[in-house]
């Protein structure tokens, strides 16, 4: 008996072995050993459960002895103990329970999940670690959290959950992409998207284009993944964590681990939810009456021209205004017209389980989601499979597969521009006339019943017509798979070899009807594009793990190689004569426009190593280094080395804190390291030519080429160095967990398209120049506010402050970007030294010219001036706004504007030279928030659970480009945004909003102005979910393990001043034009009910 | 029991061995692709210019690329590629040919004589011209470097001649608009050695242009080139360049004689002539007729080779009905220079609405001409109704027409005081004969004093060459630019106002863009800006 192995306590085991799998494995050995020592005292039986289900392989120990057993497959155990002994029941990830045996002989023990995250195992890339041993900053989201609030997309699951991670919706709509930034954007020309690692497979995370032809929609590269198959999401933020990903770690790394089977449990789960989405809010527009009133003002009655189509539209032949209740006037609320209550359905079946030597998990899910704009929908099938097998004591093998198929029907939103029939459905619904008048315009189109179909020769189209006639759809498959083989060479030494791969294939199709809008000029216009790609990664991983007394050492060395290919073909056809025949028979088109195709391949070879060392559970040191070679750079600059070091001091394990009742955990950590970025696209270091064709003899197209880029042998990695200091504090028995991080992150040798003198022949040279800085603070606070047997209340709060600043642009001071959305405005974003990315550039508005600015109104009261201005118009027989006046000497003028009247917009003369021109342009807004975060509260009462998610963003601007056309007052046909109702008029002269013609003739055209900039701050109640778990007794009689029903509301309410659909918006694919709203998809509020059944 | 265990153990060991073999194989496979080749890029989507231009075939492709570059910069603009062209912005916009409306964006400041060094349009055009210059320089340098074992040297020199002709069109544009410009003679070799050049004098730039054109003249074949540079094109452009040198800023009146010599060669070549009817000169069927000495090739829609001519200039009405975009209107008072029975008036000025009238009616039916004068639009290239051009029009851009050669010839003689009625008859009066709708209309030009002749020639150039992109150069050369700007006086809401009050002498040339000044400290801003 005295020669027993020194397996003393559960905690000792935990201390020694850091891998969950190994722990389970040794627990099994433990059980075999312990069974031999059962002593002849009274026999106690019992069942250990967790969340209502049996918990196999839980450890049951008699306190302060070496007697113990392991629960069997059904959670049952049998142990001998005397009455005054205490049983300790524990299972990793659950709060251990101690029970005095007393007189009980049959125990029912329910273990609660451990809310303290410190014991949790965190996936850190090429391995895992306990949270308490981390030296780096890593946010984790576990399955339990994902389970509570079911989201449709992976990004939705991440949104506002992790400090330092900003998740911004792109243009919205079903299946639309997101922009994710971890601690701000680190790059200008190269990508700022994080690296995603799905079960070890790394993919770079830029949104993929999902619309062709006109739109700018994106889908997430992870769209095919069902978030409910995810076991955990880890976001690696600082260099100590990300440097192991070397050349691709600079933008943060998001590791996604899918679920695997649990040993000893066979679970069959059925999950379903269904719900309905409605338009969360409408954009404020002029009502039909307000629109018509605007028209009356725009076109005063001209008795000399009573047949003028335009003036007569809403008047009778005597010039009297028509009552809009007149049945000849057709009134339509186009926002209502295009939207609907949309149904979402989701079903999932999963099976998982395992024995001592194998585990399996499989799931199949189907999501069918309608969009709130008619005809748009999104459908996803997902199959997930994972197998692990212990072949022998020494060999383990496994594989997994994640296969997704998605289909989407859509509408054009986020259109590149908003005129000439190319506008998206949303812009059409905002601008299309809400009141069809009495006249038929020459350049408008009508249907057989006289309904208006398009205005201004197809510039803007009846939204219903667009929905009926245009097609915009896509489908694709995306599959990830991997196999691994692990060999235990000797005690503590493991070798693992893995091969991983992915394939994807996406097809996009769009058809623009030949009957109206853009397609009418060409009798229909069809696009088809097919993109496909594949990647293969091989990884050889050697791991050494050893304890020497107080020293713990864990060393990992990896050799990895990967290649990826991408190719696409894009076709465009025009001229479709056969009714109803278009996309599916491109051969029927009369004209085949030039097709395009592309092929890109890139490779990466890497050597990496990591040393984790812990002394006495007090000091932890973590060193890592990665040596990466990328095909994207020339041979002599191909390899980069990315080291990192992190230290942690677990103060709470020092003697002076060991028995502190307040502070249960305290850890200080500090890290420094370097990571890289090679996300610049292929071939950038090579001399390149581009097509530069020409037409001879009038129409003979001859292909030519010309130089487009010179070889850049010097091109190499963009490097980000990051310093991070963090504090982890657990108070009151870890009921309060605080994690605080400060970081400063400098990206140097930016892979930058540096502006160079035009006389060189190039606009930009691609070089490693320039520096960008992000610094910030992140705080996350997890608290258990109340914990009683029946009631618990836990909170999660996180807030992030990030400041982004361009420090150097390699000699240049600034350069510009043009955002999509309007083909007249250029250079509306600026990248300037000393400013942050996402700065909007333009001219500052300064209200309007008013009576007091003009000589003619000198000395008149506003009422007298109003009378005069109207009289002057009537006297001249023209609208009042066509009469111009003399500005008083010294009044600021606008370049390009030669005549003035009250109500015209005024601008700020920044340089005080009396005239506002391009010298007065400046930064008029910034889209970077001052802070953002999330606040989640979870309550449980008996079998009820309630969670409330809120999120916010504060201090950012949105560039609402919808206001350009939605606020323009020079085109009378179109409806206008609601703010126009408060415009300047002769009698409303206190208004700051320009009057009729607005920015049209008084405008500083070609530039953005500050009236397009809005405060984007918001506070959102993002989700409320109320669930109920049926009690065990009831379930036992039904022979099911678990049953939960829940109801959920998404996007409950948004508190914001923003006038568009939603302030959580960033339209377009250009990362340098964030915070843009143009033609974005309206947002929904969704009501869902769901059911989870465990069999 | 023992046996059983042994068997099991053996089985396990066997499996282990098998798996270890597989593992070894997997490692072998992954490590075997180990050479440095694994990390080499082998692009199959483009070609390295240095590897292309090694023989005649490659050189020919690269030369086409140089034409493409000129198409994208010197022309009126390429709608499909969204390039703002030199010809409309410099040659037409700030002259008495057009007025710009209030919604015309940045470019209306060009019309209003309010250009600053931040003007995005001017900056884009500067950039575009220099980008194109480098592409053409690259063609000149790379093709010139070919040796006898790679290419027939005569063919090489013809190609170099074409490229140098193209280069002269760019340099001529640069020196015309900015006067003091860096003279870039070779392509950029690598990004590590970017020069920050100082400005050359206009004389130096003109010398370089003349040198290029003389080389082109000597090495090119005669003939209408179908959009390709020929000997005649080189001679005509050389004549034009010499003429321009007689005016501001060089005022080298000795160049009249040199111009006459070159233009005489074009006339004597017999290659070129006038088409019978003025409108058909701009017809899609006659894009490269005998009247086109050099016309920049374009085609659209859909090939991404289209221009903007019929939409930048086009009647009221929708583009698909044959209208224009309303980007500019004609300066109505200048239109008075036309005789009512001048077919050029009917062809070049649209007084109708394309939604209502067909192009034929728009030209020939007076009932269609209902628009008020400030609604008139430019209209030289008549899009059909309906059409699907949008901003991707098929019309080639005339650069030098034979009509221009004839007018320049008369001007060259007048400059020397040697103009005769005979010359007028086969030049100006030949054009008027063609334009005359009925006998007695559009009277023939009669020789008068030198300055009266000059005025009449300048007006004739307006009538004949309107919207072809030479008006500003013409006005400057004749010393009439300021008068023309001050003379613009148009009312109606289709004009952003009159530029006269904003005009000062320094506005005769454009400012060097601020962005370029910031990147190159060796540049000196043009005076006044």
Q: Check if B184 contacts A (Cβ < 8 Å).
A: yes
A501 CA: distance to closest CA in chain B (Å): 13
* Cβ–Cβ below 8 Å for B516 and A826: no
Nearest chain B residue to A825 by CA: give it.
Answer: B105
Token pair listed for A140: 């984790």
A717 CA: distance to closest CA in chain B (Å): 15
Contacts of A706 in chain B (CB under 8 A): 49, 62, 65-66, 68-69, 135, 138-139
User: Which among A591, A630, A762 has CB closest to B188?
Assistant: A762
B444 CA: distance to closest CA in chain A (Å): 33
Mean pLDDT for A471-485 is 91
The confidence band for A32, taking pLDDT boundaries of 50, 70 and 90, is very low
pLDDT of residue A22: 42
Q: Check if B226 contacts A (Cβ < 8 Å).
A: yes
Best of A758, A900, A997 to disrupt the B interface by mutation (most B CBs within 10 Å)? Answer: A758
Nearest chain A residue to B492 by CA: give it.
Answer: A882
B367 CA: distance to closest CA in chain A (Å): 18
Mean pLDDT for B500-529 is 95
Mean pLDDT for B405-422 is 98
* Cβ–Cβ below 8 Å for A812 and B52: no
* Cβ–Cβ below 8 Å for A761 and B188: yes
Tens of pLDDT, residue by residue over A915-973, are: 998 889 999 999 999 999 999 999 999 999 999 999 999 999 999 999 998 998 988 88
Looking at the predicted structure, is the pLDDT value of residue B176 above 90? yes
The confidence band for A71, taking pLDDT boundaries of 50, 70 and 90, is confident
Cβ(A135)–Cβ(A623) below 8 Å: no
Three-state secondary structure call for residue B337: coil
Q: Check if B303 contacts A (Cβ < 8 Å).
A: yes
Looking at the predicted structure, is the pLDDT value of residue A683 above 80? yes
Contacts of A827 in chain B (CB under 8 A): 120
Can you tell me the distance from the alpha carbon of A641 to that of A915, in angstroms, rounded to the nearest whole number? 54
What sign does the dihedral B22-B23-B29-B35 (CA atoms) show?
A: negative
pLDDT of residue A417: 75
Q: For B326, left (φ over 0), alpha (ψ -120 to 50), or beta? A: left
The confidence band for A114, taking pLDDT boundaries of 50, 70 and 90, is low
Between B257 and A99, name the one with better pLDDT: B257
Between A35 and A803, name the one with better pLDDT: A803
Share of chain A above pLDDT 70, in %: 94
Q: Check if B317 contacts A (Cβ < 8 Å).
A: yes
Pairing state between β A1076-1077 and A957-960: parallel
CB pairs < 8 Å spanning A and B: 326
User: Which among B22, B105, B305 has CB closest to A485?
Assistant: B22
Name A402's bridge partners. Answer: A384, A480
ipTM value: 0.93
* Cβ–Cβ below 8 Å for A630 and B39: yes
Looking at the predicted structure, is the pLDDT value of residue B122 above 70? yes
* Cβ–Cβ below 8 Å for B194 and A756: yes
Looking at the predicted structure, is the pLDDT value of residue A23 above 70? no
User: Which among B46, B137, B389 has CB closest to A690?
Assistant: B46
Q: Check if B371 contacts A (Cβ < 8 Å).
A: no
Looking at the predicted structure, is the pLDDT value of residue A283 above 50? yes
Tens of pLDDT, residue by residue over A396-447, are: 999 999 999 999 888 877 777 777 778 888 888 999 999 999 888 877 888 8
Can you tell me the distance from the alpha carbon of A374 to that of A425, in angstroms, rounded to the nearest whole number? 10
Looking at the predicted structure, is the pLDDT value of residue A669 above 90? yes
* Cβ–Cβ below 8 Å for B394 and A897: no
Poorest-pLDDT segment among A732-736, A867-871, B408-412 = A732-736
pLDDT of residue A38: 41
Looking at the predicted structure, is the pLDDT value of residue A3 above 50? no
Can you tell me the distance from the alpha carbon of B348 to that of B464, in angstroms, rounded to the nearest whole number? 9
Mean pLDDT for A154-161 is 84
Q: For A997, left (φ over 0), alpha (ψ -120 to 50), or beta? A: left
Best of A811, A896, A910, A965 to disrupt the B interface by mutation (most B CBs within 10 Å)? Answer: A896
User: Which among B23, B52, B72 has CB closest to A497?
Assistant: B23
Mean pLDDT for A517-528 is 87
Nearest chain B residue to A826 by CA: give it.
Answer: B120
Query: For chain A, percent helix, then strand, then coil, each to nearest 5?
Result: 15, 45, 40
pLDDT of residue B462: 98
Q: Identify which of B422, B407, B505 has the alpha carbon closest to the alpha carbon of residue B456.
A: B407
Mean pLDDT for A291-314 is 87
* Cβ–Cβ below 8 Å for A693 and B197: no
What's the residue count for chain B? Answer: 529
User: Which among B48, B102, B301 has CB closest to A1001?
Assistant: B102
* Cβ–Cβ below 8 Å for A392 and B16: yes
What does A652-672 look like in DSSP terms, one character per residue?
Answer: GGSHHHHT-SSEEEEEEEEEE
Share of chain B above pLDDT 90, in %: 80
Looking at the predicted structure, is the pLDDT value of residue B394 above 90? yes
* Cβ–Cβ below 8 Å for B49 and A897: no
Three-state secondary structure call for residue B476: helix
B42 CA: distance to closest CA in chain A (Å): 8
Q: Check if B441 contacts A (Cβ < 8 Å).
A: no
pLDDT of residue A211: 63
Mean pLDDT for A613-636 is 92
Tens of pLDDT, residue by residue over B24-67, are: 766 666 655 667 688 888 888 899 999 999 999 999 999 999 99
Contacts of A576 in chain B (CB under 8 A): none
Q: Give CA separation, A1007 vs A427, A607, A827, A923, in Å.
A: 20, 50, 7, 12
Looking at the predicted structure, is the pLDDT value of residue A4 above 60? no
Contacts of B39 in chain A (CB under 8 A): 603-605, 629-631, 635, 638
CA atoms within 13 A on the CB side of A73: 7
* Cβ–Cβ below 8 Å for A698 and B284: yes
Best of B16, B21, B23 to disrupt the A interface by mutation (most A CBs within 10 Å)? Answer: B23
Mean pLDDT for A509-513 is 91
Token pair listed for B490: 């148009």
A524 CA: distance to closest CA in chain B (Å): 11
Nearest chain B residue to A632 by CA: give it.
Answer: B41
Poorest-pLDDT segment among A298-307, A728-737, B468-477 = A298-307
Looking at the predicted structure, is the pLDDT value of residue A682 above 90? no
Tens of pLDDT, residue by residue over B82-99, are: 788 999 999 999 999 999
User: Which among B119, B299, B356 has CB closest to A701?
Assistant: B299
* Cβ–Cβ below 8 Å for A704 and B61: yes
The confidence band for A1, taking pLDDT boundaries of 50, 70 and 90, is very low
* Environment class of B137 (CB within 10 Å of its CB; exposed 0-12, middle 13-18, buried 19+): buried
A1008 CA: distance to closest CA in chain B (Å): 11
Tens of pLDDT, residue by residue over A967-1008, are: 989 888 899 999 999 999 999 999 999 999 888 877 777 789
What does B296-316 look like in DSSP terms, one character per residue?
Answer: E--B-SSSSB-B-HHHHS--B
Q: Identify which of A1008, A1012, A962, A1004 has the alpha carbon closest to the alpha carbon of residue A842.
A: A1008
pLDDT of residue A542: 94
Tens of pLDDT, residue by residue over A335-386, are: 999 999 999 999 999 999 888 788 999 999 999 999 999 999 999 999 999 9
Q: Check if B228 contacts A (Cβ < 8 Å).
A: yes
pLDDT of residue A1007: 85
Mean pLDDT for A716-740 is 92
User: Which among B195, B227, B519 has CB closest to A695?
Assistant: B227
Q: For A108, left (φ over 0), alpha (ψ -120 to 50), or beta? A: beta
Looking at the predicted structure, is the pLDDT value of residue A1032 above 90? no
Can you tell me the distance from the alpha carbon of A46 to that of A105, in angstroms, rounded to the nearest whole number? 8
Tens of pLDDT, residue by residue over A201-222, are: 888 766 666 667 677 777 777 8
Tens of pLDDT, residue by residue over B199-226, are: 999 999 999 999 999 999 999 999 999 9
Can you tell me the distance from the alpha carbon of A504 to that of A147, in angstroms, rounded to the nearest whole number? 28
pLDDT of residue A660: 86
* Cβ–Cβ below 8 Å for B226 and A683: no
Q: Check if B519 contacts A (Cβ < 8 Å).
A: yes
Share of chain B above pLDDT 70, in %: 95
Cβ(A574)–Cβ(A590) below 8 Å: yes
Can you tell me the distance from the alpha carbon of B11 to that of B23, in angstroms, rounded to the nearest whole number? 18
Can you tell me the distance from the alpha carbon of A287 to that of A334, in angstroms, rounded to the nearest whole number? 11
* Environment class of A40 (CB within 10 Å of its CB; exposed 0-12, middle 13-18, buried 19+): exposed
Nearest chain B residue to A575 by CA: give it.
Answer: B388
Contacts of B390 in chain A (CB under 8 A): 420, 521
Q: Check if B23 contacts A (Cβ < 8 Å).
A: yes
Poorest-pLDDT segment among A181-190, A320-329, A478-487, A786-795 = A181-190
Nearest chain A residue to B529 by CA: give it.
Answer: A919
Best of A486, A757, A825, A971 to disrupt the B interface by mutation (most B CBs within 10 Å)? Answer: A757
- Average pLDDT for chain A: 87
A273 CA: distance to closest CA in chain B (Å): 43
Q: Check if B292 contacts A (Cβ < 8 Å).
A: no
């Amino acid at each position: 008996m005295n020669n027993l192995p020194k397996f003393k306590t559960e905690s000792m085991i935990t201390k020694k072995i850091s891998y969950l799998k190994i722990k389970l494995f040794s627990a099994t050995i433990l059980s075999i050993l312990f069974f031999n020592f059962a002593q002849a005292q009274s026999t106690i039986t019992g069942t250990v459960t967790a969340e209502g289900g049996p918990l196999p392989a839980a450890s049951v120990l008699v306190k302060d002895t070496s007697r113990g057993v392991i629960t069997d497959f059904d959670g049952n155990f049998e142990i001998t103990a005397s009455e005054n002994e205490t049983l300790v029941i524990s299972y990793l990830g659950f709060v251990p329970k101690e029970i005095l045996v007393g007189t009980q002989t049959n125990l029912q023990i329910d273990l609660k999940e451990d809310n303290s995250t410190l014991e949790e195992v965190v996936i850190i890339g090429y391995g895992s670690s306990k949270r308490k041993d981390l030296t780096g900053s890593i946010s984790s989201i576990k399955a339990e959290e994902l389970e509570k609030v079911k989201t449709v997309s992976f990004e939705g699951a991440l949104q506002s959950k992790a400090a330092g991670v900003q998740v911004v919706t792109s243009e919205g709509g079903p299946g639309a992409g997101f922009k994710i930034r971890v601690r701000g954007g680190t790059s200008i020309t190269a990508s700022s998207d994080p690296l995603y690692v799905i079960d070890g497979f790394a993919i770079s995370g830029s949104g993929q284009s999902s619309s062709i032809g006109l739109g700018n929609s994106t889908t997430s590269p992870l769209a095919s993944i069902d978030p409910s198959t995810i076991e955990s999401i880890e976001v690696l933020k600082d260099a100590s964590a990300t440097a192991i990903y070397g050349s691709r770690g600079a933008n943060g790394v998001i590791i996604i681990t899918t679920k695997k089977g649990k040993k000893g449990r066979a679970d069959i789960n059925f999950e379903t939810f269904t719900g309905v989405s409605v338009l969360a809010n409408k954009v404020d527009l002029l009502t039909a009456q307000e629109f018509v009133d605007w028209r009356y003002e725009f076109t005063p009655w001209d008795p000399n021209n009573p047949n003028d189509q335009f003036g007569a539209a809403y008047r009778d032949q005597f010039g009297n205004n028509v009552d809009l209740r007149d049945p000849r006037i057709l009134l339509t609320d186009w926002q209502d017209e295009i939207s609907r209550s949309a149904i979402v359905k989701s079903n999932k079946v999963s099976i998982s389980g395992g024995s001592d030597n194998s585990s399996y998990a499989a799931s199949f899910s189907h999501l069918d989601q309608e969009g709130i704009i008619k005809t748009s929908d999104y459908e996803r099938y997902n199959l997930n499979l994972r197998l692990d097998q212990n072949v022998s004591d020494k060999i383990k093998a496994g594989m997994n597969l994640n296969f997704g198929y998605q289909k989407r029907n859509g509408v054009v939103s986020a259109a590149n521009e908003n005129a000439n029939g190319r506008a998206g459905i949303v812009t059409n619904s905002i601008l299309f006339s809400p009141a069809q008048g009495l006249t038929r315009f020459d350049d408008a189109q009508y249907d057989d019943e006289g309904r208006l179909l398009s205005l201004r020769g197809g510039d803007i189209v009846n939204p219903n017509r667009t929905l009926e006639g245009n097609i915009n759809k896509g489908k694709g498959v995306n599959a990830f798979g991997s196999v691994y083989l692990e060999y235990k060479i000797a005690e503590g030494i493991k070798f693992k070899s893995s091969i991983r791969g992915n394939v994807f294939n996406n097809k996009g199709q769009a058809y623009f009807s030949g009957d109206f809008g853009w397609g009418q000029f060409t009798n229909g216009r069809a696009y088809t594009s097919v993109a496909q790609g594949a990647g293969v990664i091989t990884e050889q991983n050697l791991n050494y793990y050893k304890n020497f007394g107080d020293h713990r050492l864990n060393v990992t060395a990896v050799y990895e190689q990967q290649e990826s290919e991408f190719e696409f073909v894009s076709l465009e056809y025009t001229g479709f004569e056969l009714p109803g025949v278009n996309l599916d028979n491109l051969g029927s088109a009369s004209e085949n426009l030039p097709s395009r195709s592309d092929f890109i391949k890139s490779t990466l070879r890497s050597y990496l190593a990591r040393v984790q060392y812990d002394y006495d559970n007090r000091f932890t040191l973590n060193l890592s280094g990665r040596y990466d070679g990328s095909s994207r750079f020339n041979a002599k600059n191909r390899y980069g080395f990315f080291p990192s070091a992190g230290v942690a001091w677990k103060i709470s394990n020092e003697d002076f804190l060991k028995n502190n009742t307040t502070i249960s955990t305290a850890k200080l950590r500090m890290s420094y390291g370097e990571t890289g970025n090679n996300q610049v696209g292929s071939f950038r270091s090579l001399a390149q030519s581009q097509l530069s064709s020409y037409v001879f003899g009038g129409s003979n197209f001859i292909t030519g080429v010309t130089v487009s880029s010179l070889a850049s042998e010097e091109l190499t990695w963009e490097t980000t160095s990051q310093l991070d200091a963090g504090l982890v504090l657990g108070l009151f028995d870890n009921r309060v967990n605080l994690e605080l991080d400060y970081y400063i992150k400098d990206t140097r040798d930016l892979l930058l398209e540096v502006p160079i003198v035009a006389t060189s022949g190039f606009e930009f040279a691609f070089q490693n120049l320039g520096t960008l800085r992000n610094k910030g603070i992140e705080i996350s606070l997890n608290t258990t506010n109340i914990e009683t047997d029946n009631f618990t209340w836990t909170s999660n709060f996180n807030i992030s402050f990030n400041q982004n600043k361009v420090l150097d642009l390699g000699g240049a001071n600034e350069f510009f970007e043009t955002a999509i959305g309007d083909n007249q405005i250029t250079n509306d974003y600026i990248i300037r030294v000393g400013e942050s990315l996402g700065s909007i550039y333009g001219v500052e508005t300064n209200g309007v010219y008013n009576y007091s600015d003009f000589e003619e109104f000198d000395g008149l009261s506003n009422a007298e001036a109003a009378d005069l201005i109207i009289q002057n118009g009537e006297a001249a027989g023209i609208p009042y706004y066509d009469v111009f006046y003399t500005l008083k000497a010294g009044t600021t003028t606008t370049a390009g504007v030669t005549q003035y009247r009250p109500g015209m917009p005024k601008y700020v003369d920044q340089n005080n030279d009396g005239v506002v021109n391009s010298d007065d342009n400046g930064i008029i807004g910034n889209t970077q928030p001052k802070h953002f975060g999330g606040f989640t509260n979870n309550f449980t009462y008996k079998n009820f659970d309630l969670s409330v998610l809120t999120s916010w963003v504060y201090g950012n601007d949105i560039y609402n480009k919808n206001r350009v056309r939605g606020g323009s007052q020079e085109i009378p046909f179109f409806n206008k945004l609601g703010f126009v109702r408060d415009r300047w008029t002769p009698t409303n002269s206190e208004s700051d909003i320009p009057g009729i013609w607005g920015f049209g003739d008084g405008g500083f055209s070609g530039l953005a102005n500050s009236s397009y900039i809005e405060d984007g701050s918001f506070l959102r109640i993002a989700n409320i979910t109320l669930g109920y778990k049926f009690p065990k007794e009831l379930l036992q009689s039904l022979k099911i393990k678990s049953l939960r029903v829940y109801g959920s509301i998404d996007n409950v309410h948004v508190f914001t001043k923003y006038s568009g659909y939603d302030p959580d918006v960033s339209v377009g694919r250009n990362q340098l034009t964030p915070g843009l709203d143009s033609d974005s998809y309206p947002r929904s509020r969704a009501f869902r009910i769901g059911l989870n059944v465990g069999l | 029991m023992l046996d059983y265990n042994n068997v099991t153990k053996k089985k396990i060991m066997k499996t282990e061995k098998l798996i270890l073999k597989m593992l070894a194989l997997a490692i072998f496979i992954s490590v075997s692709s180990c050479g440095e080749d694994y990390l080499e890029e082998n692009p199959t989507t483009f070609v390295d210019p240095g590897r292309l231009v090694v023989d005649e075939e490659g050189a020919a492709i690269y030369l086409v690329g140089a034409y493409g570059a000129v198409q994208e910069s010197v022309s009126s603009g390429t709608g499909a590629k969204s390039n703002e062209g030199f010809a409309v912005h410099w040659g037409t916009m700030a002259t008495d040919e057009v007025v710009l409306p209030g919604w015309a964006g940045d470019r209306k400041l060009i019309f209003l004589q309010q250009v600053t060094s931040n003007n995005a349009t001017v900056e884009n055009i500067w950039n575009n011209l220099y980008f194109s210059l480098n592409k053409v320089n690259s063609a000149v340098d790379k093709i010139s470097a070919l040796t006898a074992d790679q290419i027939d040297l005569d063919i090489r020199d013809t190609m170099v001649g074409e490229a140098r002709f193209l280069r002269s069109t760019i340099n001529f544009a640069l020196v015309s608009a900015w006067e003091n410009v860096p003279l870039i003679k070779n392509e950029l070799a690598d990004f590590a050695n970017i020069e920050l050049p100082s400005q050359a004098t206009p004389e130096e730039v003109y010398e370089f242009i003349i040198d290029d054109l003389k080389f082109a003249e000597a090495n090119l074949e005669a003939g209408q080139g179908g959009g390709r540079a020929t000997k005649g094109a080189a001679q005509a452009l050389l004549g034009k360049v010499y003429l321009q040198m007689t005016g501001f800023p060089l005022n080298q009146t000795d160049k009249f004689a040199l111009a006459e010599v070159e233009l005489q060669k074009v006339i004597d070549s017999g290659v070129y002539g006038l088409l019978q009817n003025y409108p058909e000169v701009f017809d899609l069927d006659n894009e490269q007729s005998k009247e086109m000495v050099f016309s920049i090739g374009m085609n659209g829609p859909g090939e991404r080779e289209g221009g903007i001519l019929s939409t930048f200039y086009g009647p009221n009405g929708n583009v698909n009905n044959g209208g224009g975009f309303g980007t500019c209107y004609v300066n109505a008072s200048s239109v008075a220079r036309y005789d009512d029975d001048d077919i050029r008036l009917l062809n070049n000025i649209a007084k109708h609405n394309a939604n209502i009238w067909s192009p034929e009616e728009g030209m020939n039916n007076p009932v269609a001409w209902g628009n008020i004068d400030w609604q008139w639009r430019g209209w030289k290239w008549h899009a059909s109704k309906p059409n699907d051009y949008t901003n991707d029009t098929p019309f080639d851009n005339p650069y030098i027409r034979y009509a221009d050669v004839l007018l320049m010839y008369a001007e060259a003689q007048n400059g020397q005081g040697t103009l005769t009625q005979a010359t007028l008859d086969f030049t100006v009066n030949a054009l008027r004969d063609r334009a005359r709708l009925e006998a007695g209309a559009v009277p023939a030009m009669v020789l008068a004093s030198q300055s009266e002749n000059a005025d009449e020639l300048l007006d004739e150039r307006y009538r004949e060459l309107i919207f072809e992109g030479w008006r500003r150069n013409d006005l400057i050369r004749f010393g009439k630019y300021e008068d023309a700007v001050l003379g613009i006086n148009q009312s109606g809401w289709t004009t952003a106002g009159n530029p006269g009050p904003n005009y000062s002498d320094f506005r005769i040339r454009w400012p060097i863009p601020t962005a370029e000044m910031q990147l190159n400290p060796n540049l000196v801003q043009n005076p006044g800006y």
